[in-house]
Amino acid sequence: MKNVNHITVTGNLTGQPEVFSTRNGTTGLHFTVAHNRNRKNDATGEWETINTTFWACTMWEKNPYDLQEQFTKGQFVIVSGRAELQTYTTKDGTPGAQAVIQADTLAAIPKTGQGSGSTPQAGPQPQGNGDPWGGVAQNTNPGDCPF
């Protein structure tokens, strides 16, 4: 069986995405997404944040400047990609580790009541047949359902 490593997170951008380039000229975008875990307080009926997880994200893009301009600090987004554990050593020699998302897709999520305007998006796009997985459309009949 093939191993699968896929993560999708929603949250708010903690700052403006930053463009970077490697020594060999490859460009990308660094950004951080704050994901709040919420629950409803039965006594008050209000939603409360239980904890916040900060996800460092890296996205490799040929033209990251266009993507950088589409997103701003505080914007509610969805990011998908694969999770990696990056290890490092601090200045005082202490080892550390950080979970990082190697992002394939970054998209804005409009706030409730803002309508369905266009959503900035990067990464793989679905094929023209409307299948979000990019498959080939087949002639199907709801009566042919196997269950």
DSSP 89-125: E-TTS-EEEEEEEEEEEEEE-PPTTS-S----EES--
Are the beta carbons of 70 and 31 closer than 8 angstroms?
Answer: no
Decide if 133 is inside a domain: yes
- Token representation of residue 98: 């950080």
> What is the pLDDT, as a whole number, of residue 147?
44
Decide if 136 is inside a domain: yes
Question: How many domains does the chain contain in total?
Answer: 1
Q: What is the CATH number of the domain that holds 18?
A: 2.40.50.140
Decide if 2 is inside a domain: no
- Tens of pLDDT, residue by residue over 17-76, are 999 999 998 999 999 999 999 999 999 999 999 999 999 999 998 788 888 999 999 999
Are the beta carbons of 39 and 52 closer than 8 angstroms?
Answer: no
CB atoms within 10 A of CB 85: 8
Decide if 23 is inside a domain: yes
Domain with 51, as residue range(s), is 7-142
Decide if 54 is inside a domain: yes
Residue 8, pLDDT > 90, answer yes
- Tens of pLDDT, residue by residue over 88-115, are 999 999 999 999 999 999 999 987 755 5
Residue 143, pLDDT > 70, answer no
Decide if 77 is inside a domain: yes
Residue 10, pLDDT > 60, answer yes
Percent of the chain predicted with pLDDT > 90? 65
Phi, psi of 142 (to 5 degrees): -55, -25
Stated pTM of the model:
0.70
Decide if 125 is inside a domain: yes
Decide if 147 is inside a domain: no
